[in-house]
Structure 1
């Protein structure tokens, strides 16, 4: 993949929406600890955008065994995608109001499920409004689609794979640095990180305006954290790690996602935990 396969600018999206076959727009507003994404969507969204509920449509129910946002069963994801109006061969653009950190989950899942034409709106809602483009209010209920999904379009690893990964390549922890260090842990059972993982917070993929860094800056950012060999990424529950996978894909680096992420790992007492002090505990 390249940047053009992953991202679309607000201006280019506006032009595409005027085409005879415009892309399907998905609004994925979500943030940890908030539940008002749908209300925000109803108040103002991109014209024609369909709301997607991350917790119920982009994830299976949470559990200690599988994590806070397990991958949804393929049949459930396909049914949701048809509700959103997705048809075979159609282009899709996903966005949010948080620099793509939530929308990247939809980008990753649909790519994983075999759709080739899925992109993130670079800069999300703020980039759209900054370009002087219009919004609309209210619910959009599209005609049902007929898309057929197939799992395996992007690579994944499980907990055993994450444990072994640092021996052969680079395992990136996409959470905030203080969570990686074990200084704080607001939601999961134990604080710290997977032994051997490198800290690479998702927020560092973005410029101050919420757009992705340019390609040279992204390459420098990943070189600085020591990315070499095969790459895999995890976060708290497999959401913001998808943003990291997208950022890597934009500069031509394929990365595997660990969907269970820290929420699954830290719930298993048999899994060791490392902290910034170098201490590793079982």
Structure 2
């Protein structure tokens, strides 16, 4: 079963699905990132979702994007008219980094049918499909969320998986290696983690690459054994994107939601540098 949907397929199903627009950027001023883009034009009937406030809790000991309060997620789902049997499609601007976070969070709280628009809003526009500037009214859904449908890792679990299984670091190679760190106060990676930049899983047009299986074989070369696969990034957003790619291959993965921004909160946790697992 694919977790992706094309723009043409979405256009054919648009009357039967709930569409959530999760356009987002790392930096924002007073307006939720992506809101201006949504207001300028969006998939007809789509509801805007603010990743920073609706798909994450405030920054703190749990990192820059801790898991959200389930009540907040329930409120956004009800606003969009989601019920237990709704089919939901999420998208962002192009590469599906933010959309993958929504895909993971919604499944974590119990939404069973969630797909990601491959290529995001850019793919919708490239297909010549209609856009709207009208924001839909509250649909008063009745979804009752139940968090915990997907497993997660804490720092101890991430360390154990890096030692006994395969823990993937989805950040850029230079951040993994500790050569630069533009966001977090400490550079480096979880000792034993293997670098697998999530940017390598997509093509220039933002869609997932067609040779996912071959790419996965290269990523895990030399790490085929062990007890499972975990993924982390800077704050648990782009890690979900890599998990989405692996889900397309039928590979089960576990998210470390706190990721690097949570790992470094404890100065006693070890930090590795260099381009190979430390």
TM range (shorter): over 0.9
Instruction: After TM superposition, give the deviation of residue 87 of structure 1 in Å.
Output: 1.4
How far off is 1:278 after superposition? 6.5
SS at match of 1:274: coil
Compute the displacement of 1:189 (Å): 1.7
Q: Match of 1:115, SS?
A: coil
Q: Which one of the candidate residues 248, 269, 273 is aligned to 1:271?
A: 269
Structure 1 stretches (4+) deviating beyond 2 angstroms?
A: 138-142, 277-280
Give the alignment partner of residue 42 of structure 2, picking from 17, 42, 45. 45
1:112 equivalent in structure 2: 108
Task: Verify: 1:88 aligned to 2:81, yes or no.
Answer: no
**1:29 and 2:23 equivalent?**
yes
Residue segments in structure 2 that go unaligned for 5+ positions in a row: none
Offset, 1:167: 2.4
Q: Could you tell me which residue of structure 1 aligns to residue 166 of structure 2? A: 170
Q: Which residue is 1:260 aligned to?
A: 258
Residue 168 of structure 1: CA displacement?
2.2
Give the TM-score taking structure 2 as reference length.
0.93
Deviation of 1:277 (Å)? 6.2
CA contact (8 A) 1:43 1:138 kept: no
Identify unmatched segments of 5+ residues in structure 1. none
> Is 1:198 the counterpart of 2:194 in the alignment?
yes
| Structure 2 residue aligned with 1:132 | 128
Aligned length: 271
Q: CA RMSD in A?
A: 1.5
Distance (whole Å) between structure 2 residues aligned to residue 98 and residue 155 of structure 1: 27
Q: Is the contact made by 2:79 and 2:138 (CA closer than 8 Å) also made in structure 1? A: yes
Deviation of residue 60 (structure 1)?
0.6
* Corresponding residue to 1:222 among 213, 216, 220: 216
CA 1:101/1:195 → structure 2, altered by over 3 Å: closer, same or farther? same
**Aligned-partner Cα distance in 1 for 2:27–2:125:** 25
Distance 1:234 1:277 in 2: 16
Write the distance in 2 (CA, Å) between the matches of 1:250 and 1:12: 17
CA contact (8 A) 2:84 2:143 kept: yes
TM-score normalised by length of structure 1:
0.92
The alpha-carbon distance between structure 1 residues 133 and 263, as it changes in their structure 2 partners (threshold 3 A), is same
1:1-40 CA distances to partner (integer Å, 9 max, x unpaired)? x3x2x1001111110114xxx1100000101124541011
